[in-house]
Amino acid sequence: MESERESFDLSGPLHLTYVLWDNAYHRMSVAASLVQGVYILERDRQEKREGQNALAPPWWTFFHFKLLRPLVDDVDSSIFGAIYEFRPPSSQYNDTLYRSPHYVIAFRGTLTKSHSVSRDIELDIHFIKQGLHQTSRSEIAIQAVQNTVATVGDSNVWLAGHSLGSAMAMLTGKTMAKNGMFIESFLFNPPFVSAPIERIKDERVKHGIRIAGSVITAGLTIAMQAKQPKDLSVDPFAALAAWVPGLFVNPSDHICSEYIGYFEHRRKMDEIGAGVIERLATQNSLGGLLMSAFGKESEPLHLIPSASLTVNVTPSRDFKEAHGIHQWWKPDLQLERKLYNYK
């Protein structure tokens, strides 16, 4: 079963025989497949599958991409990312350039295999503690993105990632956006550091908990700002608003489903005239504020001003399916899309 899910011929989007780059489903499916390619690159390395035995190449060659180089972790030598170059056939060249990327930088999530699981879990913990930006893997990822953008420009590059890889793509995308470069991003099942409030069925209870959380977070933010006054003429959170990453979440996946409530709650707070409170709350986390109070640096990666949110409302059999990368290229998906722009 494991090798079946790794094989493109058995589990890949074979139905996409021709990619329409202005089609949202096609773009999503290709980006997810390239992320899967990174997963299988590392599995090929672990299983010593080379040449004709390697399972990874079809995940990118099917869509006319070439692997330029893998991104390798300096701690355990595992492959955590890849840089792809789009090379369409000359007969399709003019037809395929519209909205297609020239380069895609993709990052995998956690692999539960003995060869890499300890390092991946270590990075998962760093993310939860809002310290992913301080790791050597993130430095390698950011450097790779910066070098690629410096060579070809930000408009020619896509970022893609799944789970922990989405957090890595979020970090690199945010880093570039702070410098005025807004990279198109496909973040699949991006982790959100919060209690899974979205799983509460009673809407009134859920909304009440969110309001209480916003009031507490905003209050602590004001208290912290009073002790450590900042330059209020520059709002770093608002400065990121022009970057609109694509977030792909499943309501049955508690790791990422809170993004649904995060953006909807902000909209509701604006409607009831509590936008000022929510503007403070939406860009701060309780964990980050507490860490700052103790003099520790934190970077709440999961908090972003704008996003194009795609929710897969297709019923999932279990959590594994709801969190998996395979769901994003299945045909006949039931998707709900909404654009959230920060005001």
DSSP string, 143-177: HHHHHHHHHH-GGGEEEEEETHHHHHHHHHHHHHH
- Write the CATH number of the domain with boundaries 2-197+236-274+303-340: 3.40.50
Taking a C-beta distance cutoff of 8 angstroms, is the pair 109, 166 a contact? yes
pLDDT for 237 equals 80
Mutual angle of helices 286-293 and 203-227, in 10-degree steps: 20
221-241 residue pLDDT tens: 555 555 555 554 557 788 888
119-173 residue pLDDT tens: 999 999 988 887 899 999 999 999 999 999 999 999 999 999 999 999 999 999 9
* Confidence bin at 294 (pLDDT 50/70/90): very low
74-107 residue pLDDT tens: 999 999 999 999 998 876 655 555 679 999 999 9
Beta pairing partners, 84:
67, 104
Average pLDDT over residues 20-34: 96
Is residue 213 predicted with pLDDT exceeding 60? no
Q: What's 133's DSSP letter?
A: G
Average pLDDT over residues 103-120: 91
* In the chain, domain spans: 2-197+236-274+303-340
pLDDT for 229 equals 54
253-290 residue pLDDT tens: 999 999 998 888 777 666 655 555 555 556 665 455 44
